[in-house]
Amino acid sequence: MKQLDEATIRLAQMGGEEAFEKVVLFYEKPVYHYLLRFSKNQFDAEDITQEVFLKTYKYLKKYDFRYKFSTWLFAIATNCAKDHFRKKSRRKEDFVIDDPKKPFENFYASQCQYWRGFSTHLKIDLESAFLKIRPVYKNILKLFYFEGYGYREIAELTNLPINTVKTYLYRAKISLAKELK
């Protein structure tokens, strides 16, 4: 990986805002792409990238020039990612999976950021289709697509085997497609 010149890093270390901005601009994409591979989720990668540069700014004075800056920065990125997912796994106890007996009310309204750009008719069709599929499929779809959980995390949240999660996700897509036809 190409390195940013030491002079810019030293200026940033002494509090130079323009120099720190150069550091961020130089390393932002590589850090984001690293975290995207790590998290497999765009939103998590963006959040963690922000956290990485906040911590970089906070601890830049402690950076030791005997080591490559990128190595130090990516160590921060790795630690931020681990912290993020540790916190996220603690929050999963707070995540309440829909009660299968309750209707799936106003689903598109609660997920408005994902429905932007869809016509009102499509939103109504999607909500109607979600009401008609099995509750367990609905939950798997929500966890995977709207909450950004992976197969393993969904398996832990739902106490289902991972292969069952994969099967339910596949069946959920088919059920949803049938309802939308």
- Give CA separation, 26 vs 8, 126, 128, 131, in Å: 11, 42, 47, 47
Q: 133 with 168: CB under 8 angstroms? A: no
Query: pLDDT tens across 51-83, in order?
Result: 999 999 999 999 999 989 998 999 999 889 888
The answer to pTM > 0.75 is no
What is the per-residue pLDDT for 32?
Answer: 92
Q: What is the mean pLDDT of residues 152-178?
A: 86
| Domains, in order of start, for the chain | 6-91 (1.10.1740.10), 95-180 (1.10.10.10)
* Of 138, 137, 140, 136, the residue nearest 150 (C-alpha): 140
CA distance 51 to 73: 12
- Which of residues 114 and 19 earns the better pLDDT score? 19
pLDDT band at 119 (very low <50, low <70, confident <90, very high): low
Q: pLDDT at residue 116 above 80?
A: no
Packing angle of the helix pair 162-180, 151-158 (nearest 10 deg): 100
